Structure formats: C-alpha cells, structure tokens
Amino acid sequence: MAEEAKWYVVHTYSGYENAVAAAVMKAAENRRMTDLIQEVNIPLEKVTEITDSGEKTVERKIFPGYVLVKMILTDDSWHLVHNVRGATGFVGSDGKAIPLTQEEIYGLGVEHRDYKIAYGIGDTVRVNDGPLAGFNGLVEELEPDKNRVRVVVSMFGRETPVDLELDQVEVIKE
C-alpha cells in the first residue's frame, strides 16, 4: 500500500485496555486486515512500590483508558477499531482520528530512533542545532537510549555542561 501506517490513540473504558488491545488484533486477524492494523500498544512504565512485605516492581499503565494502534486509516479499519467492545472512539476532533507526531511517538517510547553515533566520550564536537549552534565542546556523557549527550561548552570563560539530543552535535574532523 502506498500509505504508511501511523499511530492513533483509542479511548477505552477504564480497565478495558488489555481487552481492547487483544480484541483489535484478533478482529484484524479474523478479517484479514493485518496489513491495515499492524500493531497495538499499551504504554507501560516500571514502578517500584513499597509494601509491608518490601519493595516490588510492577508495570503501570502510563495512560489509563487509552490504547495506541498503528494502522492505515481507512473506513474499514476505523470501523473495526471503533466497534470493538470497550473502545469508545478515537482521540481527535469532530470524530476524526488524528495521528500522533513522530516526536510524540518517540517521547512515549513506542518506537525508537536508530542513531549512528560518530563520537564518544572525550571527543571534541560542534553543536549544529539550537541556541548553542556553533559552539565547540567536549563530550562528557552519552545516553543513546535516551537520545541524550552531555557536552561541556565554554561560555563566558566558564565550563558549562549542556544536555543535547544526539543529532544536535557532530564530531569535529581534524
């Protein structure tokens, strides 16, 4: 298909997130629509709870009452998702489903960007984007899973650590 699948948010009754996610995928398989409805996701976070018996780590829904669906929006796919028991509709205006932006998708951790990092800790880099564009600095810390690099930049005669995104800096070729 020419159109690319996008992530949409489906509102559900509270506590029905897992049932809706399973029902959407099962209905898509039964109706041979897995090319239109590709993936269903319930964003979760790991939380440590302290109880009388000690600490335990549990997974908690980040957005209770919502399910993310990666799909190509057509009349058929809209009706399939909308008519699943427990789903109340898509998030959007005037009954129209609005897809999530790439930044929202990455922010929720549903999908991850793949970066090829050409620098490492201790390398001298140039900031190529943002308010510090043009400044040079030294890489102090790298966190590729969080899309973050800490660079120490010299501003007004002081060494200042700055947190940037991985694609905001480039290695200086000597």
What are 35-53's pLDDT values in tens digits?
999 989 888 888 888 888 8
What are 89-119's pLDDT values in tens digits?
898 887 788 888 887 887 776 766 666 788 8
Superfamily of domain 6-108: NusG, N-terminal domain (3.30.70.940)
For the segment 126-132, the average pLDDT, to the nearest whole number, is 87
Supply the pTM of this predicted model.
0.64
State the pLDDT at residue 117.
80
Collapsing DSSP to helix, strand or coil, 117 comes out as coil
- Those residues whose C-beta lies under 8 Å from the C-beta of residue 27, and which sit 6 or more positions away, are 33, 80, 84
Q: Does domain 124-171 have CATH number 2.30.30.30?
A: yes
The single-letter DSSP state of residue 167 is: G
Specify the domain boundaries for CATH 3.30.70.940 within the chain.
6-108
